[in-house]
Each structure stands twice: as structure tokens, then as C-alpha cells.
Chains A and B, each alone.
Chain A
Amino acid sequence: MTADIAAIARHRIGIDGDGVTTLVAFMMCPLRCRYCLNPQTLSKEYPSKSYTAKELYDEVRTDELYFLATGGGITFGGGEPLLNPEFIKEFRAICGNDWKINVETSLNVPLKTLRELSGAINSFIVDIKDMNPAIYASYTGKDNTKVLENLKYLASAGLSGSCVVRVPLIPDFNTEKDVESSIEALEALGFTKFDKFTYKTKIHGKR
């Protein structure tokens, strides 16, 4: 089994999870977010590289000492990493349990995928965009039914403590009030760790 990788970024200290991490960015995403941070992952023209899980392990294991000493590991991002569940499970089997595996995900994937994969993941960084279905659809072009279903699953499975939920203020799409509403809805589900931030784009100028 192979996966198309857009980029591998080493030594991301304190950015994508605890300790020293290596970000592995997969190609492709089901969403079409208006202010996508990595739009190159959406293009079939982008010169990505195909890896087996073993090939990826061989490449990233150069930083194993850093991972082990700091409680870090691999953060799968993209793109949408949960489009590659078998690859991630195979990678976990190869790297063992001493490395932390984090995923930066929209959770807009089938519940079955999350159920099968959650045991291989140490922490989830979930970008929910906005909990309001209309705002979500407007910003991403997709509906958030699966996201809500998956959030409920993570909470019911006792995994909310392993999640950091990103709740962005998205210019022209939501408001501070919407962000607070999203956080309230997430708290009601049992989530406690949030990352509030603001998207900035060229068209909105400098702050």
C-alpha cells in the first residue's frame, strides 16, 4: 500500500503536537476550504511522492531519538490524513507504540474510518471550521454531518481529552459570536481543549 505525500517537515517543535514532531502531509482532501493553507495538496499536478509505510518510516526515523526523548512523533496532516487509514495503521504497526501519532483532521470522513483508526492515534487536532452547518457548507463546500457524528463518537469513546479542537474566526464566513456558539456546542459534547485563532488572507489586508 502506498500514499501520496506532499511534504515532510522535520523538527516542528511545539507546533503540531507535543515534543519534537515531523509533519507528514498527505495529498487530497474532501473539502474545498476558501482559505486553504495547503492548496497544493488538492492538485494532481503537484509533484508529490508516493511512499509505502515502511519507506516513510525509514525516512522519518532519523529523528527517533528526538521523538522518544521529548514524547513527540509523527503528525499526519495534509490534505486530509484520514483518507489514508490503512496506511496510518500500517505505519503504527511498524513504528511501535513509543512514537506519538497525531492527526490534523477535519473529521469529514466516514465514522467507520474513525472507529477503525482511533486506536492507532494518540491525539487529534480537529479543525471543525464552524459547528453551524450553513457556515460550514458555505466555507468548505461540503456538509458537516460526518464531522458532528465523528465528534460525538470521539466524546462517547472517552477520547475528547485527546483532542484539541480548532475553532477559527473566518473572515466573511463567521463571527466571534459564531465561534463562541461553536465552543459552547463542543463543550456540551465534552470537549475542553480549544485553539481559537483567526484566518487572515491577502484580500482582508494586514491587521
Chain B
Amino acid sequence: MERGKEICKALKEIRRQIAKNNDIEFVTSECKHKGDCKGTCPKCEQELQYLEEQLAARKRLGKTTRVVGLSIGLAAIAPVLFTACDPDDSKKGPDRLMGDIVTPPTEQNTPDNQNNSDGSDDVIEGCLVDPNYNE
């Protein structure tokens, strides 16, 4: 679940930049969690909630807050992440595909483009649907 760790790092960096742009004291630490990571956890969610509260407090005091338009570039926050819509990008993540909803992997429906090592376009694995299938 390497991608989960990457997402966690990217989201943490976004939180850090929001705090910095709004003069919010923000203390965080590197996640020491071993094993599966979904990209967020209760600690990450707490940090997000803390930022929301701090921004709301500043608004109540009539201070200007800056979140919209920060335009935090994803390339800057997570160089390993990619833009799925770039057809020439061969570094597309292996465990999430455009439009693929997150479901427990099964033998029948396991996104698997690990073998896409030739630098070619993205590969999507789907399930066979009976053409006569009616819901």
C-alpha cells in the first residue's frame, strides 16, 4: 500500500502549506505507522479538523484567510504522484485507476497494471459483463 503512504505525505504537505499561508501554528510529525495505509488516519483527520477550526476562528475575528486559490501544485507536494490524464506518463499508480471504485480486490476484479513496465499507455483490467445481462 505504498500509494497510501504517498497520499498521506501529500495531504500532510497540503495541510502544512495551508497553515503556513494563514499564519497558523502547525506541528506535525512523520507517521511511524507500519503496514497498510489508506492515505489518512484519525491523526491526519484531527490535523485537518484543527486547521478548519483555526481558519474559522480567524474568520470570526475578521481576519482574511487564504485557502481558495492557493493552487498548491501536486507536482510540488508529491513528485511521485502523477496526472492520470497525461497519456505519456508511464508512472501511473498501480493500485488506483481512473473511475475504479475502491472495492476489496477479488480474483475477478483486481486492478493490475503492475506488468505495464514497457512504458506504454495505462492498462485497465475490468470484469467481463454478460452482454445479455439485465439488472
Residues B17 and A69 in contact, CB atoms below 8 Å apart: yes
A134 at the interface (CB under 8 A from B): no
Known A-B contacts A19-B74, A23-B101, A37-B124; the reply to A13 vs B81 at CB < 8 A is: yes
B29 at the interface (CB under 8 A from A): no
Q: Which chain B residues lie closer than 8 Å to A177 at the CB level? A: none
How many A residues have CB within 8 A of the partner chain? 60
B62 at the interface (CB under 8 A from A): no
B120 at the interface (CB under 8 A from A): yes
Stretch at the interface among A27-35, A51-59, A87-95, A108-116: A27-35
Of A25, A68, A202, the contact of B101 (CB 8 Å cutoff): A25
A70 at the interface (CB under 8 A from B): yes
Q: Which chain A residues lie closer than 8 Å to B74 at the CB level? A: 13-14, 18-19, 70
Chain B 1-33 interface mask (CB, 8 Å, partner A; 1/0)? 000000100110011011000000000000000
CA distance A88 to B71 in the complex (A): 25
CA distance A203 to B127 in the complex (A): 10
CA distance A82 to B131 in the complex (A): 22
- Sorted nearest first, the 6 A-B pairs with minimum C-beta distance are A7-B101, A35-B126, A197-B122, A37-B126, A25-B101, A197-B121
A-B contact pairs, 22 of them (CB 8 A): A14-B74, A15-B93, A23-B101, A28-B135, A35-B128, A36-B127, A44-B135, A62-B45, A68-B67, A68-B68, A69-B14, A69-B17, A69-B67, A69-B72, A77-B101, A125-B98, A194-B87, A196-B87, A200-B125, A201-B125, A202-B125, A206-B112
Chain B residues near A (Cβ < 8 Å)? 7, 10-11, 14-15, 17-18, 39-40, 45, 48, 51-52, 55, 67-68, 70-72, 74, 78, 81-85, 87, 93, 96-103, 108-109, 112-113, 115-116, 118, 120-131, 133, 135
Chain A residues near B (Cβ < 8 Å)? 6-7, 9-16, 18-20, 23, 25, 28, 32-44, 62-63, 65-66, 68-71, 77, 98, 104, 125, 127, 141, 164, 166, 168-169, 193-203, 206-207
